[in-house]
A and B are shown apart, each in its own frame.
Chain A
């Protein structure tokens, strides 16, 4: 629908008349009647006016010099179907009148007729034109109204939906908040600087204060300054975190000064447009205490096992001690003879005394080593040289092996293999495996008795120690039974050795397995993770 005003649309009357006097007369009559008249004498001009002006009604002479009346009608209709056209002609015929009506002319008035008739027709045409326009307008208004109603409805729906969403969000936030509030874990939102933006009830309980106090104090106050692996380390650069949440166990300093172990998970989040960390943590002090008790328990068991081992080895140890004692006695007696004979010079005596000192020193070493081994002690991790430990173990079992006529063969890796672990515990494991091997061979042929201890690298981050005997192997027992506590084939054994050995190795992050050799005997192997740091040798 056009944007023009109603008045512009309806007020103009176009008169196309090639006869000049008639055009003037008609124009005058119609102007008298109050119409705004546009007059022209050719069809082309008439069509131009229809195109450019707002013409409501047109009076057209059918005989025009440039175009037939019917053709003009056609074109007028095409240009503007709303224009009411009144044919005014002197040469009226039935055919052309019928044509004119068929082509949509509004009226057909003969020139010979009373001008009043034409005026009447013009009025009528304007009325119908107006009527038509009003109809159009009504349709348009109705359509617009419907559009508006649709829009209104959509808007209402939108508003409802928005309200519902808001409600749902409120509900959801409420339930999430309730969840967070009532969670059995502590939940915090912490910013880069360590300021708490949110703390749930439990966070307060773990920290030993009201959640609000946490918001004031900040999370950094909970982190003991002397602890390495400080909690704040987690928050040092939250933006630099990976998308993977940070997880660790650490010490937390409660408001009452008590230190507790917590397990915390920190994940990147955004809190009110600010990058932050969502920290979930729980008190694992009890669990740590249980773990500590279990470590203690293991240490005690290991100690009992070491004492038992030493008890079993007592005669071998006595033998080992007797060697230097015998040596000392012989050298001492030699000195005595030399002095008594009066033939010996001081150099000869000194030479023997040096031998005595060396033998006494050796006896002292054996006793020191024993005491170190059976002493009750706390587990202590350090970087240890596995080959060195094996040499120490060999000095323990040498005499036993010697007594049983067993050859000890060492196939140690050329490079120093450094691992993390407890010197005495690892020594205990190797000693245990070596002694088991020795005992398994007491029934073997003398020239076949051989105990081999090997060390090698197992990949880039572990080492392997293998203890291989040529003994009786398994007598029908499944391999895994060997590692059960109190499983023993020895009358004097406790049956703890292998089960403790396995738990020691697993506590150090390795594995201990047993496999029967293809020909005879067994091989026990264990792995240990390679030490990364460069700490002191603890042994």
Chain B
């Protein structure tokens, strides 16, 4: 599974920026460089797959601040934070907020490339998971209200008869609703349905 995302580099030091660009380019990876967090925010399209290499402290919006802003907007781009000097509380904070790694300059270029690779893979996974979840949610959205009621009760392990009793309709009607729901949800049997519904976060 080869992820071909873009590496976004944000660092206010021009020569560091240039050297990172060359390094990433040398492994044939697409990249974009920015000298401030604001520049990046203005240009970045969340639909573009990729990862972010971020200098932690910069004038104006710092790396940590940018991480917070992205999280606030629900943007889930994997972030590799690099810093000039070890700052344990800040590293811990960054990791808690979901950074892929926190690396201290001078970072080994090979290590950095490995992390970039890892981050891009994570982004790829994230995007795939998100796509699946979106697909499932779309399927659930197609269920009628009655079908949804039947599914919700079915995954708790109730029989058709029990569901019919609880909803006050005939077991035949429940059978029909369940069959339709299974088709809409692309489930072959009840255990499959349960798995799918768990993925959507229900149950």
Q: Report A's interface with B, CB cutoff 8 A.
A: 315, 318-320, 322-334, 337-338, 341, 352, 355, 358-359, 362, 399, 401-407, 446-447
Chain B residues within 8 Å of A, Cβ to Cβ? 12-13, 15-16, 18-20, 22-23, 25-27, 57-62, 65, 84-85, 105-110
Separation of A315 and B19 alpha carbons in the complex (Å) = 23
Taking a contact as CB atoms under 8 Å apart, the answer to whether A402 and B85 are in contact is: no
13 contacts between A and B (CB under 8 A): A318-B84, A318-B85, A320-B84, A326-B19, A330-B19, A331-B22, A333-B110, A337-B27, A355-B18, A401-B59, A402-B57, A403-B57, A406-B59
Do B58 and A330 touch (CB < 8 A)?
no
CA of A330 to CA of B26, assembled, Å: 10
Chain B nearest CB: distance from A2 CB in Å? 123
With a cutoff of 8 Å between Cβ atoms, the chain B residues found around residue A337 in the complex are 23, 26-27
Q: How far is the CA of A315 from the CA of B88 in the complex (A)?
A: 14
Give the residues in chain B near A352, CB-CB below 8 Å. Answer: 22
Contact between A329 and B108 (Cβ–Cβ < 8 Å)? yes
Q: How far apart are the CA atoms of A399 and B16 in the complex, in Å?
A: 14
Total inter-chain residue pairs, C-beta < 8 Å? 93
Contact across chains for A329 and B109 when beta carbons are under 8 A apart: yes
**Secondary structure of the A side of the interface?**
helix
- Contact A358 to B84, CB < 8 A, known contacts A323-B105, A326-B106: no
Are B106 and A329 touching (Cβ within 8 A)? yes
Chain B facing A: main interface SS: loop
Residue from the set B85, B107, B110 with the largest chain A CB neighbour count within 10 Å: B85
- Cα distance A447–B19 when bound, in Å? 29
Chain A residues closer than 8 Å to B61, beta-carbon distance: 405, 446
**Given B19, B62, B105, B107, which contacts A334 in the complex, CB threshold below 8 Å?**
B19
Which one, A326, A358, A404, A406, contacts B105 given CB within 8 A?
A326
Return B200 CB to nearest CB of chain A, in Å. 40
A178 to B196, CA, bound (A): 121
Question: Do B22 and A330 touch (CB < 8 A)?
Answer: yes
Given contacts A315-B85, A319-B85, A333-B110, contact A402 B26 (CB under 8 A): no
Report the minimal beta-carbon distance from A359 to chain B, rounded to whole angstroms: 6
Across the interface, which residues of A come within 8 angstroms of B23, CB to CB? Answer: 330-331, 333-334, 337
User: Smallest CB-CB separation from B113: which chain A residue?
Assistant: A333
In the complex the two chains form, what is the Cα distance from A325 to B16 in whole Å?
9
In the complex, what's the smallest C-beta–C-beta distance from B36 to chain A, in angstroms? 11
Given contacts A325-B106, A334-B23, A402-B58, 20 further A-B contacts (CB under 8 A): A319-B84, A323-B84, A324-B15, A326-B19, A326-B106, A327-B16, A328-B19, A330-B23, A333-B109, A333-B110, A334-B26, A334-B109, A338-B26, A355-B19, A355-B22, A405-B61, A406-B59, A407-B59, A446-B60, A446-B61
